[in-house]
Amino acid sequence: MLLNCVHGDLELVQLQNGKLAKSKDNYTFSKKDAKSIYKWITELKMLDGYASNIANKDKGSMYGMKSHDCHVFLECLLPICFRLLPEFVWSSLADLSQFFKDLCVEHGL
């Protein structure tokens, strides 16, 4: 017995072979989009010493950022690089980014 989800776009989908699969969420990127965002971040030029290692070019990932680099990403780059997402997702991320900006300005970080 399957339970129906309140959000119809997130319900399980029955495949041709009879198995159930989770549908793709509307807030995820395609592999092509994810690669283009990562490429944009790795080629991004910042002021010397401002953000040293936003994307780990050796590992091809965004893991292992230092705290300042993470702040730069959250406060400056997040609303730009995720603009491809649907409006309701992007606006929430932009609000989150602004929250971190405001928080750090108030505390002098």
Closest to 24 in 3D by CA, of 4, 9, 2, 7: 9
> Where do the domains of the chain lie?
26-106
Cα separation, 67 vs 20, in Å, equals 40
Cα separation, 65 vs 78, in Å, equals 14
Cα separation, 109 vs 106, in Å, equals 8
pTM: 0.58
Asked whether residue 55 carries a pLDDT value surpassing 70, the answer given is no
Q: pLDDT tens across 1-50, in order?
A: 455 556 666 677 788 898 888 877 777 777 888 788 788 877 877 776 67
Burial class (CB in 10 A: 0-12, 13-18, 19+), 32: exposed
